[in-house]
Copies of this chain bind each other. A is one copy, B any other.
Amino acid sequence: MKKYYIGIDIGGMSLKGAIVDNEGNILYKARVVTQVGKGNKVFIDDLKGLINKIIDENKDKEISGIGLGLPGLVDSKTGLLENAHNLQITNINFYDELKEYNVKVKACNDANVAALAENRFGASKGYSDTVLLTLGTGVGCGVIIDHKLYEGFNSKGTELGHMIIKVGGVPCSCGLNGCFEAYASARALLRLTKEKMLENKDSLMWEYCKNNIENIDGLTSFECAKKGDKAANELLDEYISYLGTGILNVCNIFRPQVILIGGGVSNQGDYLIDKIKDYCEKNYYGMKDAPKVEIKCAKLKNDAGVIGAACLVM
């Protein structure tokens, strides 16, 4: 029997809402712009406005639950969001706030929610154990163990982006040094690209960004490497060695069946995945004894948030 859920993907730019059925299909979408910096009340009013709109425009569908994915530290047991720096809201209890809808409500960190979506309906469908790494400004992470989301005590675990992979390494935005995120995020790739360009004035990358280093983006290194540029290939090898180190750590720590790569960098698809696999094959601890871990790109892209949020209440 078809059942319908509301999934809300809360971001710094917009609140995205959708109706998702129990097979992971999106049947309706709506969004409002996020009013950052106007405090809890405005935020909650906007959220409820979006939910009301979704319900009003889908009166033929009975809603069985509301799930929320958001960029912050939310305790999924109590519903308490302590902090979402990007949204400038603090201490909101979503389960209290949304009680009036008289349906199951569940809130969770957005990277976790995306992992749940990929595991239920996306690239790792059918696998029991999945780790999703999203390579964007930072490195987000969601861990699925035995088909269920693993969050750690008080939902504060699986911050794999802040696993230190290089003692004494470069500074991370968190204040520590040498975090995985500081070496494997899209931002880290840009830093490595800039450094390499400054060392190699004859690299094709200069031409690619019209001789202005401020024009570099996440594609600069990849596009020039594909054209055979030596410096671009060297810097990508370095980037892959860091990314691969973190991935091997995930293998040794969680030993999931599959690791999914999402976020902007994953748009490189097989070109990226093949490089990661090569690195891992060469550096795989216990490879002979241990089962191989599959490495794939995530699939649901921008829809992962609303689908995953809906999964929370399915």
A binding-site residues for B, Cβ under 8 Å: 73, 82-83, 128-129, 145, 150-154, 156-160, 162-169, 174-176, 178-179, 183, 241-242, 245, 248-249, 252-257, 283, 285-286, 289-291, 293
Known: A145-B150, A290-B73. A252 touches B82 (CB 8 A): no
Interchain CA distance A286-B156 in the complex, whole Å: 9
Q: Which of B157, B160, B164, B248 contacts A245 (CB 8 A)?
A: B164
Known: A159-B285, A252-B162, A285-B176. A257 touches B167 (CB 8 A): no
Q: Contact at B285–A153, with CB atoms within 8 Å?
A: no
Q: Contact at B241–A156, with CB atoms within 8 Å?
A: no
Q: Contact at B164–A248, with CB atoms within 8 Å?
A: yes
Chain copies in the assembly?
2
Chain B residue, CB-CB nearest to A129: B153
Q: Contact at A158–B289, with CB atoms within 8 Å?
A: no
Known: A167-B165, A169-B167. A160 touches B252 (CB 8 A): yes
A to B CB contacts below 8 Å, 21 in the list? A73-B289, A129-B153, A153-B256, A153-B257, A154-B255, A156-B289, A157-B254, A157-B256, A159-B253, A160-B252, A162-B252, A162-B285, A164-B245, A165-B166, A166-B166, A166-B167, A166-B178, A167-B169, A167-B183, A175-B285, A176-B248
Q: Contact at A158–B253, with CB atoms within 8 Å?
A: yes
Q: Which of B156, B175, B248 contacts A291 (CB 8 A)?
A: B156
Known: A153-B257, A165-B165, A242-B167. A82 touches B289 (CB 8 A): yes
* Pairs A-B, 8 closest by C-beta atoms: A152-B255, A157-B255, A159-B252, A166-B167, A156-B255, A156-B290, A163-B249, A162-B285
Interchain CA distance A164-B178 in the complex, whole Å: 11
Known: A163-B252, A289-B73. A128 touches B157 (CB 8 A): no
Interchain CA distance A244-B302 in the complex, whole Å: 37
Known: A83-B289, A175-B285, A253-B253. 20 other contacts (CB 8 A): A73-B286, A73-B290, A128-B153, A152-B255, A152-B256, A153-B257, A153-B293, A156-B291, A157-B253, A157-B254, A157-B255, A159-B285, A163-B163, A164-B165, A164-B248, A164-B249, A165-B167, A166-B178, A167-B183, A176-B248
Distance of A239 from chain B, by nearest CB (Å): 12
Residues in B whose Cβ lies below 8 Å from that of A249: 163-164
Distance of A206 from chain B, by nearest CB (Å): 28
Residues in B whose Cβ lies below 8 Å from that of A162: 252, 285-286
Interchain CA distance A307-B164 in the complex, whole Å: 34
Distance of A101 from chain B, by nearest CB (Å): 28
Distance of A271 from chain B, by nearest CB (Å): 23
Interchain CA distance A215-B128 in the complex, whole Å: 50
Residues in B whose Cβ lies below 8 Å from that of A165: 164-167
Residues in B whose Cβ lies below 8 Å from that of A73: 286, 289-290
Interchain CA distance A160-B257 in the complex, whole Å: 17
